Amino acid sequence: MISERKPAHFLQILIREDLAEGRVTQVATRFPPEPNGYLHIGHAKSVCLNFGLAREFGGTCNLRFDDTNPAREEEEFVDAIKRDLSWLGFEWNGEARYSSDNFDQLYEWALYLIKEGKAYVCDLSAEEARQYRGTLKEPGKNSPYHDRSVEENLVLFERMRNGEMAEGQCSLRAKIDMAAPNINLRDPIIYRIKKMAHHQTGDKWCIYPSYDFAHGQCDAIEGISHSICTLEFEDHRPLYDWLIENLPVPSRPRQYEFARLHLNYTVVSKRKLKQLVDEGHVDGWDDPRMPTLSGLRRRGFTPTAIRNFCEMIGVTRSDSVVDVGMLEYSIRDDLDKNAPRAMCVLAPLKVTLKNYPERQQEMLAAPGHPVRDDLPARELPFTRTLYIEKEDFREEANKKYKRLVLGKKVRLRNAYVIFAEAVVKNDAGEIVEVICSVDLDSLGKDPADGVKPKGVIHWVSAEKNVDCEVRLYDRLFNDPAPDAGGKNFLDCVNPDNLQILKGCKAEVGLANAEPEQGYQFERNGYFCRDSKYGSVETPVFNRTIGLRDSWAKEQNK
């Protein structure tokens, strides 16, 4: 919900004025996705805005699929969009709606325009139509078919409807003004021939309305009060208004525009996202590297973090680029406050405690969260053999190194102090085991000899743990503007966007981790169990985000 503590943005002010002056009595918005891909982070801004405004002003928000182009639409995308909206925390008004629900009415209104002398069937090809349209500096000129009689247009349009015309042979155009400064008013196409089945209407139609023709009229049918679009539709508003004014629609919605979300290091073009999927650069629309809501969800982003991000960036009419670091801050902040803690060793190094009984096991207590008493404590099995991170041990180190060093002490997190005495190496000279002694009187207190350990490291039992795979995801692109300036966005793919680590060892409680439940792996970052891959025996954990923003530091090295 949009925070009342923040200054009102221009759409909130506008709606308050509309209500106060009686121009509307009930706020009704809509979210109109085209079912030709998955929702992405850019859509999230529109979702939060449309549903948020309706909620704030006690109104309703419809979900209406803009399904006027059967060539690119699939039921898979319809289902995915519904899932994402529900996951994000929004409930639409009534049943989901479709532009195709209104195809019969839209067809009747097309006939109405023909009978009023405001639409005609045009035989120009797409290329010829472009030549007649003119340019931004030069007016267009009327089509040779502009002055066909009403009777001829009715016959031809009926033939189009009956499938007697080939695709591209002709179209129905609104008769407005070929000299209009706004090119969208230069006799725009409102119906075109597409001889293909539709995922909702089957084979009933072989002609389909344009988005511009369906948009405002569906708004009017549904009683939408504020049709909120992104800025690229600003130039279409005169056509939106012309159609509303020239058709016997049941209500008079108004269109308003806001700046869409432009996020650096990100591509949100559906065409380019589809290319990433189709060419195998990612593993589907829900790949955790994708900016889709389903991808972010698999990676461990929470609805709260995404809603907070959309609130942080605000609503304006000025285009600007938002730093992806703001999105990363939102999820890091949410998980820091709410994610249970756990320990997972990504690169295991065996530690043997020579003075700890071989068959002994004790259960040590660890907090579920440093400040959240409502999150249950964890039980950690402590045994003679343990795993620590390879990078947490050195034979020799300077004073800045705060981990385990041969001949030095370190504390195991939530456990005892240990002292490194010797190492075991393989034939290649690599350290494969560290022999330590454990101070059994140091649980929860300093060693009796007064020598405090220099650092604290995480660990898991080598005898009781969860064998897992960990996937370290990073930004998909290493260029802040991967598709700007004519660049091939594929050339900007970050070669280090995914590192897969097998044989990782996690504390036993993570065997019961639910998919998408976020955890802080202490000292390693925030992770969640993958909902697509892995098994009960060997789960897969995805890195959501690191503990700190290390990206800028790495790029400036």
Residues noted as catalytic: 34, 260, 270
CA 162 to chain centre: 41
Tokens of 129: 């139509």
Buried b (16+ CB within 10 A) or exposed e, 476-496: bbbbbbbbeeeeebeebbeee
Using alpha carbons only, what angle is made at residue 39 by residues 79 and 3, rounded to the nearest 5 degrees? Answer: 115
Phi, psi of 412 (to 5 degrees): -80, 130
Query: CA 19, CA 58: separation in Å to the nearest integer?
Result: 12
Nearest to 99 by CA among 60, 71, 121, 70: 70
Sequence length of the chain is: 557
- Strands 60-65 and 97-98, by their bridges, are parallel
Using alpha carbons only, what angle is made at residue 311 by residues 277 and 300, rounded to the nearest 5 degrees? Answer: 40
199, with CB counted inside 10 A (0-12, 13-18, 19+), is middle
Query: CA 28, CA 23: separation in Å to the nearest integer?
Result: 13
Phi, psi of 121 (to 5 degrees): -85, 125
Q: How far is CA 277 from CA 38, 170, 487, in A?
A: 11, 34, 19
Query: CA 361, CA 381: separation in Å to the nearest integer?
Result: 6
Q: Where do we find the tokens 């130039």?
A: 235
**What is the DSSP-derived secondary structure letter of residue 516?**
T
Q: Where do we find the tokens 């590192």?
A: 499
Tokens of 495: 């070669």
Query: CA 311, CA 292: separation in Å to the nearest integer?
Result: 18
Query: CA 298, CA 295: separation in Å to the nearest integer?
Result: 5
Task: Give the helix ranges, DSSP H, for 74-208.
Answer: 75-88, 103-115, 126-133, 150-161
